[in-house]
Each structure stands twice: as C-alpha cells, then as structure tokens.
C-alpha cells in the first residue's frame, strides 16, 4: 500500500513522467502504463504525465532499420531524457528495445504480455498457402523475411517500412500482395480484423519481446522502481529474462534474423530459439526448458548453443 491509500495520512503528491514515442501504437502503450500506475498508486491519471519524444527512428522511413543503425534508434532520445532526469520512466514495445541498455538504465517491468504471434495481411485469401507463387510480400524485418523465404522460397520479399497504417494501406492499394504485422500491434490499434490469418508459433516464431510492453527507468530511482514493481507482470518478466538473455548471448542486432519465444508453464520456463541465414536457406533451432529461477541462464545457454551453429557462423556471430 502506498502513502495515498493509507487512511488518515496526508496524501503525498505523486508525479511520474512517462517518455514515449508519438506513434499511435506507442501512445496506446503509454496510456496503458499510465492507467495501470494510476490504479496501483491510487492517484488520478493526470499525476502520471505523458511526454512525447521524437526519436531518430521516427524520422527514417526509406531504409531498412538494420541499415540505418539498428533498433536503438527508437529508444535513443527517450533514454537520453531518462538519463537527464527529464522523464522518470519510458514505455517501449519490448521488441524494439536494444540488446544492451545504456549504463544506469534497466527494464524494471513489463505489462502482461499480449498475443505474441505474427498476422498475415493479404487482400485475397487467408494463410501463407493462399499466396500465389511469386507474390510480393513487404516487410522490413529480417526475421520475417528469412522465415518467409524458408517456408516459401518462391515469394518476392521486399522492403516495406512505416507504421501499421502505412503498411496496411500498401497492401490495400495493391503495392504489395501481403505483409506481416504483430497481432498485438493490430489489436492495440483496434485493427485485428485486418488480419487474414494468424501464424502459429510452431511454424513462424515471433521476435524476442513481441507482444510485451517494457518499462524502463533509472536503476537508482527507488520510487519509480517501486511504482513499476506494483504493476509488473511476473510471468512476462520471466519469459523476457529468458528471451533477452538468449538475444544477448547471440549478440543479435537488427542485422541478424533471430526469433525467440519463452513461455512460463507452472514452475518452468520453456524457450524456443531460431537463427537463420537472411535467405532462409539455412536455420538452426533449439527448444529447452528450465525452472523459472533459471530463466536468464536458460536463455544464455540456448544462445550459446545456436551461436555455434552453421547459420550463426555464416552471419559472423
Ligand atoms: N517494429 C515495430 C513494432 N514494434 C512493436 C510492434 C507490435 C507490438 C508488439 O510486438 O508488442 C511493432 C509493429 C509490428 O512489428 O507489427
């Protein structure tokens, strides 16, 4: 219980400042964290401010992110605001958070994870099987590209960047026959019905962190850490510890097609990992289980095993 809910005591003014990108998806996620914090701390939503921060990633639209310098692009300016004390916490799609964080910052918790799967969006037909030979699929994700090529070497996979609305419009207008998007993002934007099919994780493995909302703050800020702990989802934290350790062991950047998914089942956590050559011609997979207390070690061990595989060597990992 915090100061504001103790009866009789004088309320302590709570003021937390959230830093976020300004995209509709980012704003939805920031509002979800704001609402959860307001409830947990028993304060009005206005006590949790939302500050929109423009990132370099928002400004680059013409290149694959891997070319432009990786996923840190969506978090750099927000992390600078955290380190300067201009905001107290940052809300990100966990998938977009770089493998290594700046000194002094950490991921203090996650909202309960949404659906982790990728959705296929196409005008005609449902699943991947319905795509005609040679169909043009737009994506900016090396992981989606490699898995698509692996399953359907006949498809033409081409660069398609931009926010969810832009990508859906490109398919609607016929510039592409199909695209792939995280179902979680579509759902948050109220557009889940745009999905023609949802791809089973057995066939198509999501990105590390997909569907999870991560909350970052300064390591040395006890009030903010306590507030985040009050809303953090334990199972999502365990799964993300395993997945992010897996990514760290592979030193995965945006240039490496890597997929990974951990799930908590009772007292144990199961991790599936996949590393591929960009053209999908070679891939190495792993699936292992460990007690939840060993989540990070499980991720590291799986990453190290895959790092010794042929596709990883082809990528210079
Ligand atoms: N790279 C952009 C991004 N970051 C998070 C999501 C979706 C929401 C999520 O995975 O939590 C998306 C869009 C997409 O990949 O379709």
Predicted ipTM? 0.96
Contact between 274 and 247 (Cβ < 8 Å): no
Helices (H), 129-280: 142-151, 164-172, 183-188, 222-231, 234-250
* Residue whose CA lies nearest to ligand 1 atom number 7: 185
> 287, exposed or middle or buried, with CB in 10 Å at 0-12, 13-18, 19+?
exposed
Contact between 157 and 139 (Cβ < 8 Å): yes
CA of 47 to the centre of ligand 1 (A): 28
**Is 204 part of a structural domain of the chain?**
no
* 226-259: pLDDT as tens digits: 999 999 999 999 999 999 999 999 976 567 899 9
Contact between 314 and 275 (Cβ < 8 Å): no
**Is 150 part of a structural domain of the chain?**
yes
Does residue 265 sit in the same domain as residue 254? Answer: yes
Contact between 243 and 259 (Cβ < 8 Å): no
Does residue 82 sit in the same domain as residue 137? Answer: no
Does residue 105 sit in the same domain as residue 3? Answer: yes
What's the structural domain count of the chain?
Answer: 3
* Residue whose CA lies nearest to ligand 1 atom number 2: 96
- Pick the catalytic residue from 62, 84, 88, 96: 96
Listed as ranges, residues in the chain with pLDDT below 70 are 1-13, 61-71, 252-254
Does residue 288 sit in the same domain as residue 302? Answer: yes
Does residue 135 sit in the same domain as residue 262? Answer: no
Does residue 102 sit in the same domain as residue 217? Answer: yes
Residue appearing with tokens 């599936």: 272
Q: Two tokens at 107?
A: 């991921």
With a threshold of 0.90, does the pTM exceed it?
yes
Does residue 73 sit in the same domain as residue 147? Answer: no
Q: Which CATH number is 171's domain given? A: 3.40.190.10
* 96 catalytic per annotation: yes
Does residue 239 sit in the same domain as residue 222? Answer: no
| Residue 103 to residues 79, 100, 158, 316, Cα–Cα distance (Å) | 10, 9, 36, 26
Contact between 102 and 164 (Cβ < 8 Å): no
Residue appearing with tokens 């070497």: 153
Contact between 161 and 86 (Cβ < 8 Å): no
Burial 187-212 (b: 16+ CB within 10 A, else e): bbbebeebbbbbbebeebbbbbbbbb
204 SS3 class: coil
Does residue 106 sit in the same domain as residue 23? Answer: yes
pLDDT at position 224:
97
**Is 206 part of a structural domain of the chain?**
no
pLDDT at position 315:
84
Q: Which range of residues forms the domain containing residue 130? A: 118-198
Query: Hey, which residues does 216 pair with through a beta bridge?
Result: 90, 107
- Per-residue DSSP letter, 281: S
Dist CA 62 CA 47 (whole Å)? 38
CA of 184 to the centre of ligand 1 (A): 7
**Is 172 part of a structural domain of the chain?**
yes
Does residue 28 sit in the same domain as residue 94? Answer: yes
**Is 54 part of a structural domain of the chain?**
yes
**Is 203 part of a structural domain of the chain?**
no
Does residue 102 sit in the same domain as residue 130? Answer: no
Choose one of 25, 66, 147, 189 to mutate for the ligand 1 pocket test, by most ligand atoms within 8 angstroms of C-beta. 25
Crossing angle, helix 24-41 and helix 164-172, to 10 degrees? 140
Dist CA 126 CA 129 (whole Å)? 8
**Is 85 part of a structural domain of the chain?**
yes
**Is 222 part of a structural domain of the chain?**
yes
Does residue 100 sit in the same domain as residue 2? Answer: yes
């Amino acid at each position: 219980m915090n100061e504001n809910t103790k009866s009789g005591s004088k309320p302590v003014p709570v003021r937390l400042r959230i830093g976020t990108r300004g995209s509709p998806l980012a704003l939805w996620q920031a509002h979800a964290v704001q609402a959860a914090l307001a409830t947990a701390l028993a304060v009005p939503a206005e006590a949790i401010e939302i500050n929109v921060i423009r990132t370099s990633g928002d400004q680059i639209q013409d290149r694959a992110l891997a070319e432009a310098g990786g996923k840190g692009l969506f978090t750099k300016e927000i992390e600078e605001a955290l380190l300067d004390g201009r905001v107290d916490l940052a809300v990100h799609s966990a998938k977009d958070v770089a493998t290594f964080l700046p000194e002094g910052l950490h991921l203090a918790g996650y909202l309960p994870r949404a659906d982790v799967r990728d959705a296929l969006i196409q005008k005609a037909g449902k699943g991947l099987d319905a795509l005609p030979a040679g169909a043009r699929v737009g994506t900016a994700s090396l992981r989606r590209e490699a898995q698509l090529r692996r399953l359907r070497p006949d498809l033409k996979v081409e660069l398609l960047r931009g926010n969810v609305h832009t990508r859906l419009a490109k398919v609607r207008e016929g510039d592409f026959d199909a695209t792939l998007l995280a179902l979680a993002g579509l759902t948050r934007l109220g557009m889940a019905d745009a999905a023609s099919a949802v791809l089973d994780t057995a066939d198509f493995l999501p990105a590390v962190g997909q569907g999870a909302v991560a909350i970052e703050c300064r390591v040395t800020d006890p009030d903010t850490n306590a507030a985040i702990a009050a809303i953090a989802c334990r199972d999502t934290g365990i799964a993300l510890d395993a997945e992010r350790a897996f990514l760290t062991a592979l030193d995965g950047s945006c240039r490496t097609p890597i997929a990974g998914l951990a799930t908590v089942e009772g007292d144990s956590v199961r991790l599936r990992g996949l590393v591929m050559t960009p053209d999908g011609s070679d891939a190495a997979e792993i699936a292992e289980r460990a007690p939840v207390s060993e989540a990070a070690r499980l991720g590291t061990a799986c990453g190290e095993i895959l790092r010794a595989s042929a596709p990883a060597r082809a990528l210079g990992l």
